[in-house]
Amino acid sequence: MDDFVVGIDVGTTKICTLVARVEPDDSLRIMGVGVEPAEGIRKGVIVDLTAASQSIGRSIAQAEQTSGVKIETALVSLAGAHVASINSRGVVAVAGHTVEDSDIERAMDSARSVAIPNSREVIHVIQRGFSLDGQDGIHQPIGMHGYRLEVEAHVITAATATAENLRQAVGAAGVRVAQFVLKPLASAEVVLTDTERNMGAIVCDIGGGTTDLAIYVNGDVWHTMVLAVGGNNITQDIAHGLRLPLSQAEEVKKLHGHSVQAEIGMDEAFNILPFGAETPMRMSRRDLSLIIEARVEEMFELALQEIKRSGYDGLLPAGMILTGGTSLLPGIRQSASKVLGMPVRTAQPDKLLGLADKLNSPAYATGVGLLTWAAALQSLPISYRDGPQKRRSVQKGDGENWNTVKNLIKRLLP
Ligand SMILES: Nc1ncnc2c1ncn2[C@@H]1O[C@H](COP(=O)(O)OP(=O)(O)OP(=O)(O)O)[C@@H](O)[C@H]1O
Ligand SMILES: [Mg+2]
């Protein structure tokens, strides 16, 4: 089991369990895949524990069968409207004359100790810049002289009860949650290039039930948001507008959907069988795209509001990287670009070995991102892998290794 990494993406439409082996060149060889329709999950959150546990269990069993690996622990994705994030500052007096690791650790502890109610748990604390004696914009303060060290941190929290339900549902299949990873952060590991990360960009994973956003500036996560809208809303609008059962609306969306009406010819049409009709009727594809266009633009307007509220709207020259199943909708890139006024590209997992064919879709960005995250964690000293509670027992290694480790820790640990 130790040579393998496992990720379970608990989505609103599908549960995806992936088992991979990390090759010597750090590429991932996919050994097992278990994709099952999700049940008992709405807008990223468990609403029926039994149904959710069963579908998670089936997905895990399938991944175990294909890989021949008994899964004991896994990284599990988390999202939903209960996720909140706040920016926090940790301030400490520098103990010696120069900043040392222990000062940074104390500053992070101080940032982490923001007042968080008992009903919430911390999922990630991401450090993203320091200031020393009031001088902002310091990336790496170690060894610098100063008296007062401040760290700027992004603290992501989740409702304890909701996270606990997910832990229990995964636990029912005999698998321990090693760590929750916020969905957009996992997706970003797969779709974001280093250049985009450094220049400033926003990752947007639109699934069935949620739209997960993460803003990167200067190489670090600056803001995260989870919106409770997704592709299911588009399907519902089509079902209402054309009076179709949801399953037919979903099919119509995937076969004929487009989010830019102006791109569709006047005479393009397809057949549907609405409620109450005895024979199929012709439906204009332009009319369908009008329904979709309205919803898709509204979704990006919502995203834009959130981006503006975060204060980083002017800092994203690399634009938006769209992923998630809904990014397969024709026209969506244009719609996003029109509403947001920034460059937009779509992305999906690539450079995978083994059983990877099925995973070459943006719907699997989060699942594969969990594997990338797990692989990076596995390269850390063993005592780092389980989260912050064990951090203090770690001894510093030799210089160069330790720096790599610290960079990883900065990105990965809660
Ligand atoms: N070709 C397509 N055109 C339009 N929409 C599509 C297409 N293929 C998939 N979708 C939509 O993608 C959505 C599923 O995406 P995904 O698998 O990323 O969701 P999820 O991870 O299960 O859910 P979430 O992350 O929101 O909890 C569904 O709403 C589906 O209708
Ligand atoms: Mg998803």
pLDDT in tens, 348-381: 998 788 888 889 999 999 999 999 999 988 776 5
- At residue 127, the pLDDT reads 82
What type of residue sits at position 314? G
CA distance 359 to 368: 8
Give me the phi and psi of 192, to 5 degrees please. -90, 130
Q: Which tokens in the block code for residue 49?
A: 């524990």
Q: 395 pLDDT exceeds 50?
A: no
- At residue 384, the pLDDT reads 44
CA distance 342 to 307: 12
Ligand 1 pocket, residue 331 CB under 6 Å: no
Q: 128 pLDDT exceeds 60?
A: yes
Closest residue by Cα to atom 8, ligand 1, is 325
What does the pLDDT average to over 68-80?
96
Q: What band does 139 get if pLDDT is binned at 50, 70 and 90?
A: confident
Q: 36 pLDDT exceeds 60?
A: yes
**Closest listed ligand to the CA of 208:** 1
CA distance 339 to 303: 10
Q: What band does 413 get if pLDDT is binned at 50, 70 and 90?
A: low
CA distance 231 to 207: 6
CA distance 50 to 67: 26
Atom of ligand 1 nearest to the CA of 212: 25
Ligand 1 pocket, residue 363 CB under 6 Å: yes
- At residue 26, the pLDDT reads 81
Window from 117-126, 203-212, 355-364, 382-391 with minimum mean pLDDT:
382-391
- By the 10 Å C-beta count (0-12 exposed, 13-18 middle, 19+ buried), 308 is classed as exposed
Atom of ligand 1 nearest to the CA of 38: 22
CA distance 377 to 396: 16
pLDDT 10s digits, 142-171: 999 999 999 998 899 999 999 999 999 999
CA distance 91 to 128: 14
Atom of ligand 1 nearest to the CA of 230: 26
